[in-house]
Amino acid sequence: MYQASVPVFVRALTSLADVLAKAEAHAAEKKIEPTVLMASRLYPDMFPLSKQVQIAADAAKGGAARLAQQTPPAYEDNETTLGELAERCRKTVAYLQTLKPEQIDGSEERTVTWKTRHAEKSMQGMPYLLHHVIPNLYFHVTTAYDILRPNGVELGKSDFLGRA
């Protein structure tokens, strides 16, 4: 469970931080106000880039913390720059790296409970990881990438996949 969670989350968020750094450099080079990118969306009823990054970080830290039977650290959603969003990813990676395999391994059948905006939910650990946390993390990381690419940020598949 540890190997299927923490290293996966670390890689995704490290890649996202690197993508955000590229976006920041792109904005500076092209003289684009960074808040334009922060507020960009794929579609009007979808969250902007800033919220996509916040949710991706929250999915990773919340998922790992719950599997480890910890309370996830709380972050204010107050990032106003691309650099601050990248720092949120790095801060989340630093938290994830404090978790040990023995805290998460064995959580396959442990009941995990969390609150959403509308309800409280519970699942066993393995389905929680495979069918809730990982898909949510990748949805929001992918959406962040997909917001930046059509805005001219030169990104490729290797940026999304990150370093091995």
* pTM of the full structure: 0.95
Q: Angle 82-96/2-30 helices, nearest 10 degrees? A: 160
Considering the segment(s) 2-161 as one domain, its CATH architecture is Up-down Bundle (1.20)
The mean pLDDT value for 78-98 works out to 97
- The residue extents of the domains of the chain are 2-161
Is pLDDT at 164 greater than 70 in this prediction? Answer: no
pLDDT digits (tens, 9 = 90+) for 46-81: 999 999 999 999 999 999 999 999 999 999 999 999
Residue 21 exposure: Cα atoms within 13 Å on the Cβ side: 12
